[in-house]
Amino acid sequence: MRGPKNTVIIAEKKLHPNTTKKTKNKASSKNSVAPKRPPSAFFIFMEQFRRDNKENFPENKSASAIAKEGGVIWKSMTESKAPYVAKAARKKAEYEIAIKQHNDNLNDDAMEISSSSSINTHEDVE
């Protein structure tokens, strides 16, 4: 019994390929006004490495080659990672302060909305 039903669906898809596709419009769960997460020490290093590499080798335009070379250099670094780690820690602390302020503002806004929307619907009936 399943055969004819499936062939009908396949035939409809062949006749009307665009009408059977369903796209979902999902709203982003991210808050667009929230502070951006801070970069890690590696990304701070890579930002500087790309900038330096672009200045020293302007003809090299391969992003993958630059990323691979930066990764190899990062892995070989030991004590020289310290300034990048410190900068990442400082940016993380700034981010934590900013996100706390952001969340406090969201909570304050939510409290204002809930207090203004609460209406006393229970009236005393005499």
Q: What is the pLDDT along the chain (126 residues), one digit of tens a residue?
A: 555 566 666 666 666 666 555 566 666 677 788 899 999 999 999 999 999 999 998 888 789 999 999 999 999 998 999 999 999 999 999 999 999 999 998 888 777 777 766 555 555 555
- Give domain status of residue 89, yes or no: yes
- Give domain status of residue 20, yes or no: no
- Give domain status of residue 26, yes or no: no
Distance separating alpha carbons of residues 25 and 67, to the nearest angstrom:
34
Q: Which two tokens stand for residue 37?
A: 């997460």
Q: What is the CATH number of the domain that holds 41?
A: 1.10.30.10
Cβ-in-10-Å burial (0-12, 13-18, 19+) of 66 comes to middle
Query: Are residues 73 and 49 in contact, defined by beta-carbon separation less than 8 angstroms?
Result: yes
- Give domain status of residue 125, yes or no: no
Q: Which two tokens stand for residue 60?
A: 């090299």
Residue 108's pLDDT is 81
Residue 123's pLDDT is 55
25 contact partners, CB below 8 Å, separation of at least 6? none
Kindly report the pTM of this predicted structure.
0.63
- Give domain status of residue 93, yes or no: yes
Distance separating alpha carbons of residues 30 and 36, to the nearest angstrom:
11
The sign one gets for the Cα dihedral 95, 82, 49, 75 is negative
The range of the structural domain enclosing residue 99 comes to: 35-115
Q: What is the number of domains present in the chain?
A: 1
Residue 21's pLDDT is 55
- Give domain status of residue 87, yes or no: yes
Residue 61's pLDDT is 77
